[in-house]
Amino acid sequence: MSAQLFVVATPIGHLDDISYRAINVLKSVKVIAAEDTRTSALLLKHFNISTPLTACHDHNESNKVDQLIQRLLLGEDIALISDAGTPLISDPGFKLVRAAQENHIRVIPVPGACAAIAALSAVGLPSDRFSFEGFLPSKSSQRILNLEKLKDETQTLIFYEAPHRILECVKDMVNTFGADRPVGFAREITKTFETIKKMTLSELVEFIANDHHQQKGEIVLVVGGATQEKDMEQEKLDQLLNRLLQDLSVKAASQLAADLTGIKKKVAYQRALELTDKL
- The set of residues, in sequence order, having a beta carbon less than 8 Å from that of 216 and lying 6+ positions away, is 163, 187, 188, 193
Annotation: CATH topology of 116-223: 3.30.950
Q: Is the pLDDT of residue 233 over 80?
A: no
Rg, C-alpha atoms of the chain? 24
Q: C-alpha 259: how far from its chain's center?
A: 39
Q: End-to-end CA distance of the chain: give it in Å, rounded.
A: 58
> Among 23-32, 148-157, 216-225, 254-263, which stretch is predicted with the lowest mean pLDDT?
254-263
The average pLDDT across 211-234 equals 85
pLDDT for the residue numbered 276: 86
Q: Is the pLDDT of residue 2 over 90?
A: no
Pick the CATH number of 4-113 from 3.30.420.40, 3.40.50.2000, 3.40.1010.10, 3.40.1280.10: 3.40.1010.10
Least confident of 44-58, 87-101, 147-161, 218-232: 218-232
What does the DSSP assignment read for 101-117? HHTT-EEEEE----HHH
Q: What is the pLDDT of residues 49-74, one digit of tens each?
A: 999 999 999 899 888 999 999 999 99
The confidence band for 230, taking pLDDT boundaries of 50, 70 and 90, is: low
Are 173 and 224 in contact by the 8 Å Cβ rule? The answer is: no
| pLDDT score at 154 | 93
Percentage of the chain lying above the pLDDT 90 cut: 81
Query: Each residue of 97-118: pLDDT tens digit?
Result: 999 999 999 999 999 999 999 9
- CB-based burial label for 202 (10 Å; 0-12, 13-18, 19+): middle
Q: What is the mean pLDDT of the chain?
A: 94
